Amino acid sequence: MTDSTTRSRPLGRTSTTIHPIGLGCMGMSEFYGPAMDEGAAERFLHEAVERGVDHFDTAEMYGIGHNESLVGRALRDRRDGLTIATKFGPLRDPETGAFTGIDGSPANVRRASEGSLARLGMERIDLYYLHRVDPSTPIEETVGAMARLVDDGKVGALGLSEASAETVRRAHAVHPISALQTEYSIFSRHVEDEILPTCRELGITLVAYSPLGRGLLTGRFTESDRPSGDADFRGGGGQPRFEGENYDANLRLVDTVRSVARRHEVLPAQVALAWVLSRGDDVVAIPGTTKSKHLVSNLGALDVALTDADLETLNALSDQVKGERYNEGSMQSVQQ
C-alpha cells in the first residue's frame, strides 16, 4: 500500500515522472458512444493539460487513427513535460472497422510507428506499447524492432499491454520495459497474482486502464439507465459485465463503493481511483473521460485517503463480480 495522494510517480526506471492520473483518450473517438466534436475534444485536451494532466494515452486502433490525429493536433505544440503514449498491434479494416488480427512483426512495428508519428505530428512517441501480444511473432522479435525505434530516437520508452508475466519477462530481457498497461480496478484484480509482482521486481510501472470499470464504478449506471446504442460496445455484447443478470449483480456491488464514498463525502469514481492509486507508487491510472466535470472529479481522487477498513471492504468486491472482462473472442488476446 502507498500514500495515494503523491503528485508524481516514476515511469519505469526512466527519469520521467508522470501524474498518477493520466487521461485515456479512446472514448473521444469511439467505443463508449459517438465521437466527440473535434473542436470540443481539442479544447478538452487543452483543459486537461491546464489542470495538470501530463500523461495522455491513445492508440493506432482508436477510431482507426482518428484518436491519434486528435491528440496530435491538440498537443503537438504544447508537449513539453507531457508523456504521449500510443500503441500498435491490432489491425482493423479501414472501411468497416472490423478487427482483422494482431501483428507484432518487425515490419508492422515500422509501418505502425511511422503512421502514428505522422498522425501525432510529433518527432517522438514518448511511450510506445505493443497493444496486444501477437501469438505468431516471438515477443523478442517484436520488442527487438521496438528497441530499434528507441535507438533511432523515434520512441522514448517501451510498454506492453495485456501481456502475461512471462511475456513481460522475456520482453524485458531484450530491452527495458517501462510500462505494462492492463485493466486494473476494484472489480478487476487479476494482475495482482503474477503480473504486478513481476512488474515490481523489474521496475515496471503498471498503467491501469478502465480503473472505473468502464464507468460502472462511478455509480452513473442504474437498472434503467444502462449504456446502450450501437456506438457503445458496453451494451452491444462486448462486455459481459454489462449484460443481463451480471449487470444487475454488479450494480449491487457498486452500492458498497457508494457507501465508502458517502463516508468520505466524495464520489464513487474518486473512491475507485483512490483505490487504484493506493496499490503502490508504481501504479498509475488512466481513466477515460470526455467531460470536464468528470476530469475535475477524477483529479480530485488524489485528495482521497482511504482507510485500511475501506480497503478491506473494497478488496472483497472483485471476487463477487459477475462476468468476464471481455467477450470470449477478445479474452483470447489478453494476458498473452
Active site residues: 62
As measured in angstroms, the least distance from the Cβ of 209 to ligand ATR is 4
Identify which of 8, 333, 11, 301 has the alpha carbon closest to the alpha carbon of residue 180. 11
The binding site for ligand ATR (CB under 6 A) comprises 24, 26-27, 32, 209-215, 218, 220, 269, 287-291, 294, 297-298
- Burial state string for 283-303 with b = 16 or more CB within 10 A and e = fewer than 16: bbbbbbbbeeebbebbbbbbe
CA distances from 102 to 57, 109, 134 (A): 19, 11, 5
As measured in angstroms, the least distance from the Cβ of 258 to ligand ATR is 12
Nearer to ligand ATR, 108 or 290 (CB): 290
Nearer to ligand ATR, 128 or 233 (CB): 233
| Nearest position to ligand ATR, beta carbon | 288
- Output the nine-digit C-alpha cell for 33: 458512444
As measured in angstroms, the least distance from the Cβ of 211 to ligand ATR is 5
As measured in angstroms, the least distance from the Cβ of 297 to ligand ATR is 4
Nearer to ligand ATR, 225 or 245 (CB): 225
Nearer to ligand ATR, 172 or 214 (CB): 214
- Residue 298 makes CB contacts below 8 A (sequence gap 6+) with 21, 269, 270, 273, 287, 289
As measured in angstroms, the least distance from the Cβ of 84 to ligand ATR is 17
For residues 117 and 125, the answer to whether their CB atoms sit within 8 Å is yes
- Dihedrals φ, ψ of 57, to 5°? -120, 120
Q: State the amino acid at position 217 in one-letter form.
A: L
- Burial state string for 202-235 with b = 16 or more CB within 10 A and e = fewer than 16: bebbbbbbbbbbbbbbbbebeeeebbeeeebbbb
Question: What DSSP character marks residue 217?
Answer: G
DSSP alpha helices (H): ranges in 242-290? 244-264, 268-277
Nearer to ligand ATR, 235 or 288 (CB): 288
